[in-house]
Structure 1
Amino acid sequence: MSVAKKNIKKYFLEQALTQVKVDEYLAYKFHSVGYSKVELQKTPMGTRVIIYAERSGAIIGRRGQTIKQITKVLEEWFGIPNPQVTVVKVEEPELDARVMAFRLANALQRGFHFRRAAYTTLRRIMGAGAIGAQVKVSGKLRGERARFEKYIAGKVYKSGNQVVRLTDRAIAHVLLKVGVEGVEVIISKKSEEERPDDEVRIKSPEEVNEIVQKIREEMQQTQPEAPTLEETVEQSGGETQ
């Protein structure tokens, strides 16, 4: 392997590692305000940092003070040149697995019973239009021994291409008096562009009539017109009786 290829490989590894570190820092600092993810984009003027969160105003801060602190940390701690921070509000937080995982972890930290908090999270996800959802809570739930409980609603994809296209998964941890508890949220969702391969939908009569009409028009365009009697006689060179 040449030196240039090694340098390119090292560069991309360093960029990926930096993004992971920034994501962990922002998740630790803003998990209570619905932090979702961060994107780092290189520009000629520096680095564009896009933060996605449910409560974007809490990350911006009063008069932009929090944004200024984040910019300083990104530049000094993580070595990001000239970071330009932008905060984007998550439009559908109930369909974002990380936002819901942090919500569930915060509910457990406030003292809610794990089963009640899990079912509440599940209902909100399904109420937002998800195909299915799974909530898993693990730790010392009741007693000295650690265990887990899993709650499922709808259809949750665990394998195949639909996991990549339609499934969102997130994990969060919370420190309680009995020890550390972990939560896992998996959401199967669909959009106008991405639909499940196993989805079956019966077309309406209007849609069926439209398809039939389209087929008839195509058949009329492709079928040659029947020759008239005079044309048939001319082609055969005979006379009609």
Structure 2
Amino acid sequence: MGQKIHPTGFRLAVTRNWASRWYAGNGNFADMLNEDLKARTYLKTKLKNASVGRIVIERPAKNARFTIYSSRPGVVIGKKGEDIEVLKSALGKIMGVPVHVNIEEIRKPEIDSQLIADSIAQQLEKRIMFRRAMKRAMQNAMRLGALGIKIMSSGRLNGIEIARTEWYREGRVPLHTLRADIDYGTSEASTTYGIIGVKVWVYKGDRSATGEAPVIDTPPDEKKPRGPRREDGKPAGRPRPAGAGGARRAAKPAEKAGE
């Protein structure tokens, strides 16, 4: 079941929270949901080059608050805040209420699943080999602390006649474990041969009982033991191996002294 279901929906109210947080009665739910979808479509088109990872929408007391997570907040804000004012006015027309926009920076875009998927899709549109793009993204994610990553691409890869699916995985990606912090993202690449879909799963560790994000430590195998130190505080030198060569080198000064 964990292999097929959406990883975020599977973990809602356990280790994940909703992307739209508001309450509506039976009569207003459809209209408010439609407004959310229109706003997300507008932001996805407007901020295509701003590296937006996710968007959280909240509706407190006849207002709307958008929190945009981006690895390039300067592109979203614009020169002297001009672009963000344009966003506020456009979103206000869509939502029909006053809108507040908050920008949050993504510190490590290399381990954000949505940004990884968007990056691979952009490379595929530039006719870069899909294997090279996928493996490069996996190496960057593992280097910056991800415990596991899985990337899947589907479509007419490299322009072949019959569509196929290829995926690569490195590390652990426990999709059945509810407490596992699995970040999931999808994207599409529009090529001359058709659309190629990209899916990314990133495993960042297990969340605690309070829902706190995992802290990635250095594996014990990578911690090297500290060598002996001399009395003056400097590290001790490498001991010379005892053997026939060492004995001959020690004997030569004695022969010269005897002469």
Compute the TM-score of the two structures, normalised by the length of structure 2.
0.66
- Cα separation, 2, equivalents of 1:97 and 1:148: 19
Change (3 A) 1:95 1:149: same
Name 1:3's counterpart in structure 2: none
Question: Deviation of residue 93 (structure 1)?
Answer: 1.4
Is residue 202 of structure 2 the alignment partner of residue 187 of structure 1? Answer: yes
Name 2:42's counterpart in structure 1: 25
Name 1:54's counterpart in structure 2: 71
Q: 2:146 aligns with which of 118, 126, 130?
A: 130
How far does the alpha carbon of each residue in 1:16-66 deviate from its partner, in whole angstroms, 9 at most, with x for none?
443343223322332332111112223457322111111011111112221
- Cα separation, 1, equivalents of 2:138 and 2:26: 41
Q: 1:166 aligns with which of 181, 198, 209?
A: 181
Question: Which of the pair has more CA radius of gyration?
Answer: 1
Q: Which runs of 5+ in 1 are unaligned?
A: 1-6, 203-241
The structure where helix makes up a greater share of residues is 1
Q: 1:88 aligns with which of 85, 94, 104?
A: 104
- Cα separation, 2, equivalents of 1:148 and 1:181: 10
Query: What SS is found at the alignment partner of 2:162?
Result: coil
Aligned residue identity for 1:107: Q
Compute the TM-score of the two structures, normalised by the length of structure 1.
0.71
Name 1:65's counterpart in structure 2: 82
Q: 2:129 aligns with which of 108, 113, 117?
A: 113
Question: Deviation of residue 67 (structure 1)?
Answer: 0.9
Query: What SS is found at the alignment partner of 1:99?
Result: helix
Is residue 120 of structure 2 the alignment partner of residue 97 of structure 1? Answer: no
Query: What SS is found at the alignment partner of 1:144?
Result: coil
Question: Deviation of residue 195 (structure 1)?
Answer: 5.1
Change (3 A) 1:166 1:10: farther
Query: What SS is found at the alignment partner of 2:43?
Result: helix
Equivalent residues of 1:36, 1:98 under 8 A apart: yes
Q: Which runs of 5+ in 2 are unaligned?
A: 1-23, 222-259
Name 1:140's counterpart in structure 2: 156
Aligned residue identity for 2:43: L
Name 1:207's counterpart in structure 2: none
- Cα separation, 2, equivalents of 1:95 and 1:83: 30
- Cα separation, 1, equivalents of 2:138 and 2:189: 19
Equivalent residues of 1:26, 1:35 under 8 A apart: no
- Cα separation, 2, equivalents of 1:168 and 1:52: 14
Query: What SS is found at the alignment partner of 2:157?
Result: coil
Question: Deviation of residue 168 (structure 1)?
Answer: 1.0
For 1:149-160, list aligned pairs within 5 A: 149-160=166-177
- Identify the structure with bigger relative contact order (alpha carbons < 8 Å, sequence gap 6+): 2
Equivalent residues of 1:133, 1:153 under 8 A apart: yes
How many matched pairs? 191
Query: What SS is found at the alignment partner of 1:65?
Result: helix
Q: 1:9 aligns with which of 11, 18, 26?
A: 26
- Cα separation, 1, equivalents of 2:26 and 2:173: 36
Equivalent residues of 2:62, 2:97 under 8 A apart: no
Query: What SS is found at the alignment partner of 2:47?
Result: helix
- Cα separation, 1, equivalents of 2:214 and 2:92: 41
RMSD of aligned residue pairs (Cα, Å): 2.6
